[in-house]
Amino acid sequence: MNAPVQSLKGLDLKTEIDRLRKQRNAVILAHYYQTPDIQDIADFVGDSLDLSAKAAATDADVIAFCGVRFMAEVAKILSPQKTVILPDMDAGCSLEDSCPPEQFAKFRAAHPDHIALTYINCSAAVKAHSDIIVTSSSAEKILAQLPMDQKIIFAPDKNLGAWFNRKTGRDMLLWPGACIVHEAFSETELLKLKAQYPDAPVAAHPECPAFILDHADEVGSTRAILDFALKSPAQTIIVATEPHIIHQMEKAAPHKRFIGAPGADGNCNCNMCPYMAMNTMEKLYVALRDMEPRIELDEATRLAAKKPLDRMLEMAGRTVGQGDVGRRG
């Protein structure tokens, strides 16, 4: 349950969050889709794979996870002895919603000769029914370790699955889920933008449909998109993913121009993730103050979900030692 955010007028939230972080021995992890104020106060900002590895390795007592619920659940699954708090427990994910665990279990049972390779954007219960978890930055490396004739169910993102089918020449059976944010980009508006900036490469997240990915110069996870934007010699880059990641780009390369790919109405507001936006500095402060809302999982589900997550970290070469998350002093 979320505690009501009472009037916090007059509080210097940055100072208070910093004070509580030290008092609680907490680490603040944030995804690139969080607002700039949250990204700037976090100890670490990353993509799903990096955040999972950090959550598994931290020696903090508390993980304040600024991202969506499934990400905070991963932190709890991997670090059960830690208290994991999420500023807003309603911060879900449309991909998670598109894959109810009971239906997924039935789908699996109907295809007993397939293994389930499941995108990390799903509930702990769906992870518990999976063989290997992947993120967009680890899927290719993990697929390369599986025999080509291995039958595979890929859930829940049909766009991501189709992208990896295309890239690897596989024929994975796709669950019909999609992300509402990445599905909102408009091909017509993107082509107009490309005509306006003919030298600007397009970097896109593989959750986008093929009609967007077909125009991309780089397709990758949020971290891969960030790396591409910084390394590219181009001075203007079109970014087809949730636009809050542009904050990191502008910080690292203030001389470049980064343009968010547009939605159907020609402006990119519809491409903001409404779930990520539920977390605010006020709610982060209240969560650290009250140590609520907390992620709690039943132990059987946690253990079953941990197996395919451990396989991901192992196959992605991301089994990390304790204590490698630097915290602010």
Where does this chain bind ligand SF4 (CB under 6 A)? 68, 93-95, 121, 179-181, 207, 242, 273, 275-276
Q: Does 96 bind ligand 13P (CB under 6 A)?
A: no
Closest CA to 242 of 283, 168, 182, 166: 182
Rounded CA separation 92/98 (Å): 11
Rounded CA separation 309/135 (Å): 10
Q: Does 135 bind ligand 13P (CB under 6 A)?
A: yes
Closest CA to 239 of 231, 228, 255: 228
- Convert residues 168-207 into a mask of x (bound to ligand 13P by CB under 6 A) and - (unbound): -----------x-------------------------x-x
- Considering only residues 34, 98, 118, 221, which one is a binding residue for ligand 13P as defined by CB under 6 A? 221
Nearer to ligand SF4, 21 or 76 (CB): 76
Q: Find which of ligand SF4, ligand 13P, none residue 275 binds, CB within 5 to 8 Å per kind.
A: ligand SF4
Using left for φ > 0, alpha for ψ between -120 and 50, and beta otherwise, residue 186 falls in beta
Using DSSP's 3-state secondary structure scheme, residue 83 falls into: strand
User: Cα dist. 136→50, 69, 196, 243, 302 in Å?
Assistant: 11, 18, 30, 18, 22
Q: How far is the CB of 224 from ligand SF4 (least distance, A)?
A: 15
Q: How far is the CB of 203 from ligand 13P (least distance, A)?
A: 12
Nearer to ligand 13P, 71 or 305 (CB): 71
Q: Find which of ligand SF4, ligand 13P, none residue 74 binds, CB within 5 to 8 Å per kind.
A: none
Rounded CA separation 306/168 (Å): 27
Q: Does 226 bind ligand 13P (CB under 6 A)?
A: no
Nearer to ligand 13P, 58 or 135 (CB): 135
Rounded CA separation 268/242 (Å): 9
Nearer to ligand SF4, 31 or 318 (CB): 31
Rounded CA separation 272/276 (Å): 8
Q: Find which of ligand SF4, ligand 13P, none residue 221 binds, CB within 5 to 8 Å per kind.
A: ligand 13P
Torsion from C-alpha of 243, 248, 254, 259, nearest 10 degrees: -20
Q: How far is the CB of 74 from ligand SF4 (least distance, A)?
A: 13
The structure tokens 């700037």 sit at: 40
Q: How far is the CB of 242 from ligand SF4 (least distance, A)?
A: 5
Is the Cα dihedral 141, 143, 146, 148 positive or negative? negative
Phi, psi of 307 (to 5 degrees): -55, -55
Size of the site for ligand 13P (CB under 6 A): 11
Q: How far is the CB of 76 from ligand 13P (least distance, A)?
A: 18
Q: Find which of ligand 13P, ligand SF4, none residue 47 binds, CB within 5 to 8 Å per kind.
A: ligand 13P
Name the site residues for ligand 13P (rule: CB under 6 A). Answer: 47-48, 121, 135-137, 179, 205, 207, 221-222
